[in-house]
Structure 1
Amino acid sequence: MDDVTPSGPEEFLAKVREAGEKWTGERQDDLVDVLLRAAGDDPELAELVRGSGSIIEEFLEGFARKSVTRPRNLAADLIAGHEVPRPVLYGLAPRYLIVIAGGPVARRAATLRAKIAGPGVLSTRHDGDLVLLVPDVDDERTSRTTEHLGGCLNDNGWLAVAKRSRAELADGFREASEVMRLVTAGRRPSGVYRLSDVLVEYAVMRHEKIAKNLADMIRPLRAHAMLWETLTALIDADYNRNRAAGNLFIHRSTLDYRLQRIASITGCDPTSGRGVQLLTAALIADSLR
């Protein structure tokens, strides 16, 4: 539309109608600029536009939100990356804490929701896990939310968390899902985990050749159920051999003998720091392949 100064209100309104016929309405924040071009160089009309344009924008924004049907399972659409109506998306909080509750704790959905009761919290189920989208208003509230949720675990499950903007929730869900996979495959104790807690495992699993080599290294151990049970018991005991022996109800010398056999089969000594780290990574690689 040409920037020609209207000779009066009637011409101005005509140009406004013309602009309205062409305007797609996709970006309501462009409305003031459209009307200013219609006002041309007339300072009074330009002042009128500036004074009333923002009011019109807010009105249209509210109307758009009212006229758009909210998806039945908005949280599921958001974490799947499905397109949602723009007014619905813009009506969400700018950032979210994405929480995946896995294990037995996922069945206590009502308890978890009660811990974080508040406006704007979304929830859904995915592959048996509970997924919560909690508005990330400020660091203090987010820390308090994570702490409250962690208190629900009772050594009986895991929480995987990530933070993302409302437009990146699918990416954040993928990150939290990967954290959950690595935590459960690595037999980590119950707790709240972030990507920073599994960086080594994450890096290993992202390298296909290394992951395959690790899985191949530990796979022969699967033919020895007793030795596999011993290795997992050692990992579950956080590599404390006395505790592992107690959990297996065997003598410490019996445990040491089994660990020697594991070393001879895999080539990694589970009594050394490096060896047990490799075996843990190998167990994760085997579990995820």
Structure 2
Amino acid sequence: MTSTSIRAEAAVRPEGTSGARTAFPAVAGLPAELRAEVVAVLEEQPRETRAVVRRLLGATVAALVSGDRRAWTSAREAEETIRAGSALAAAGVRPDPLLVLVGRLTAWAVERAAGAEPASAGRLKDVVRVGHAVTRGLAGGFHRHARSRAAAPLDGERLAAALLSGQRVPGAAASYQVLAVRCGHGVLDRLPALGGVALTRGCAGFLLVPEAGPGRGPELAAGLRAALPAAWVAPYWARTAEVPAAAATAADVVALAAGSGAPAGVHRLEDFAVEYAALRHPAIEAELRRLIEPVLAGPGLAGTLRAFVRADGNRTRAAAELIVHRSTLDYRLKRIAQLTGYDPVKPAGLQVLAIAMTTAHARTVRAQFAAVPDPR
């Protein structure tokens, strides 16, 4: 037995039975090509829809083989088909592969009935009607459930998650002021609404305020800052379809602010234009990461470089902040130059190293924001 046929036997067998023929005699009797298609459709199903799809396929093939459209179009069978479509919609699974498979099964059953002796026009019609009944019920159940979900109002967190994920939300505002927030200490349990909807995960979150024009960003950011003194905040206005991109931009600004060692507060994209361009360019960001990795791994070197950047290249101030002798600072700066090829004592070298350090730390903060729109 080939690996495909072994998988086919397993896929069409429900849990707790010993063989495919015990599960669906008609399915086990399908041609190998169709059995493989049944396997593919079943394997693509998530756990919550697999059983209902398996039952539907078994009943469909049995009805197609018998040509008994009256049994299939009974209230019970029709309800089972609609239930399968509804289950797919609830799980977020498109019905297209299953509908295509039902069409293929119907075509096979028609060809089979046409070749039977004696051939019967009435039987052929009944087979086609079974196929139509299944596809109609399946598609109807799916779209009915999808429409009911779309019509249901979303709570604040679900609305924010939908907008941040780029979903079309009925009744959404035309535009939003998107504010990215990261708390410096502990978990960000909640954000003050300020007339909008919020979503948080861990120490990061977003606040979306509807119909707040581009000029209201600083005002709303100041409101968040007042409520969360130890937070980095960045506002960005966008039309509804562009909310995901605006959220990504605002999150990157916060990530760069935190990564640069800037104090908590309200930050703007123009404050980190060069770093933002580097962070958004994968090849440049990767090269900067490779450049700074030896410094991050070296004992005391990362803290030394950060202090030297904060001191604008002033050795006396940096040594005082680090509470080390000037000679110790000079040794560490020389070691950084040896490891990276860029001399932090020179302005150009210090600028490159500062950007590399900032983007490296920003990647960690960026990952915290990336997890925010994920469903719980």
TM-score band by shorter chain is 0.5 to 0.7
Cα distance between partner residues in 2 of 1:83 and 1:139: 22
Task: Tell me the equivalent position of 1:100.
Answer: 180
What letter corresponds to residue 146 of structure 1 in structure 2?
A
State how 1:229-248 maps to structure 2 within 5 Å: 229-237=303-311, 239-248=313-322
Query: What secondary structure sits across from 1:268 in the alignment?
Result: coil
Conserved? CA contact 2:194–2:209, under 8 Å: no
Change (3 A) 1:201 1:256: same
8 Å Cα contact 1:109-1:130 kept in structure 2: no
Q: CA deviation at 1:124?
A: 1.1
Note closer, same or farther for the CA distance 1:226–1:192 as it changes in structure 2 (3 Å cut): same
Residue 64 of structure 1 corresponds to none
- Give the corresponding residue for 1:11: none
- 1:88-141 per-residue CA deviation (whole Å, 9 max, x = no partner) reads 22xx2x32211111033685666x51xx634xx111114531211123534564
For residues 153 and 254 of structure 1, the distance between their equivalents in structure 2, rounded to whole angstroms, comes to: 38
Q: Which amino acid aligns with 1:188?
A: A
Decide whether the 8 Å contact of 2:180 with 2:235 is kept in 1. Answer: yes
The reply to whether residue 219 of structure 1 matches residue 305 of structure 2 is no
1:177 counterpart residue number: 251
Q: Which has the larger radius of gyration?
A: 2
Matched, 1:249 2:323: yes
Q: 1:137 to 1:213 in 2, by over 3 A?
A: closer
Residues 179 and 198 of structure 1 are in contact (CA less than 8 Å); yes or no, is this contact kept in structure 2? yes
Q: Is the 8 A contact 1:97 1:142 kept in 2?
A: yes
Letter in 2 for 1:74: L
Cα distance in 2 for partners of 1:221, 1:284 equals: 13
Cα distance, 1:163 vs structure 2: 0.8
Say what the alpha-carbon RMSD is for the aligned residues: 3.0
Matched-pair contact (CA < 8 Å) for 2:184–2:203:
no
Give the structure 2 partner of residue 82 of structure 1: 167
| One of 189, 193, 201 as aligned partner of 2:263 | 189
Which of the numbers 102, 105, 117 marks the counterpart of 2:194? 117
Query: How big is the shift at 1:179?
Result: 2.1
Identity of aligned residues (%): 34
Partner Cα distance (1:194, 1:267) in 2:
31
1:149 aligns with 2:229: no
> Number of residue pairs matched?
213
Distance 1:280 1:146 in 2: 27
Aligned AA (2:221): T
Structure 1 residue 212: Cα displacement: 2.6
Unaligned runs of 5+ in 1: 1-66
Instruction: Provide the residue aligned with 2:242 in structure 1.
Output: 168
CA distance in 2, matches of 1:82, 1:252: 56
Q: How far apart, CA to CA, are the structure 1 residues paired with 2:263 and 2:287?
A: 26
Residue 128 in structure 1 maps to residue 203 in structure 2:
yes
Helix, strand or coil at the partner of 1:283: helix
* 1:201 counterpart (246, 257, 275): 275
Q: Residues 41-95 of structure 1, C-alpha deviation per residue, up to 9 Å, x if partnerless?
A: xxxxxxxxxxxxxxxxxxxxxxxxxx932113211111111232x2x22xx2x32
- TM-score (normalizing by structure 1): 0.63
Distance 2:207 2:317 in 1: 35
CA 1:77/1:270 → structure 2, altered by over 3 Å: closer, same or farther?
same
Deviations 1:248-272 (CA, angstroms, capped at 9, x unpaired): 2223343233222222222212122
Cα distance in structure 2, aligned partners of 1:157 and 1:239:
27
| Whole-Å separation in 2 of the counterparts to 1:78 and 1:223 | 39
The aligned counterpart of 1:10 is none
Task: State the alpha-carbon separation in 1 of the partners of residues 285 and 194 from structure 2.
Answer: 41
Instruction: Look up the match of 2:154.
Output: 71
Alignment of 1:24-35 (within 5 A): none
Tell me, yes or no, if the aligned pair for 2:232 and 2:265 is still in contact at 8 Å: yes
| Secondary structure of the corresponding residue to residue 225 of structure 1 | coil
Corresponding position of 1:263? 337
* Amino acid aligned to 1:133: L
Q: Please list the CA deviations of residues 184-234 of structure 1 after superposition, one character each: whole Å capped at 9, or x if unmatched.
A: 333333222232222211222333333232222222223421222211233
Q: Distance in 1 between matches of 2:279 and 2:217?
A: 29
Q: Distance in 1 between matches of 2:313 and 2:153?
A: 50
In structure 1, give the amino acid aligned to 2:223: H
Matches of 1:223 and 1:162, distance apart in 2:
35
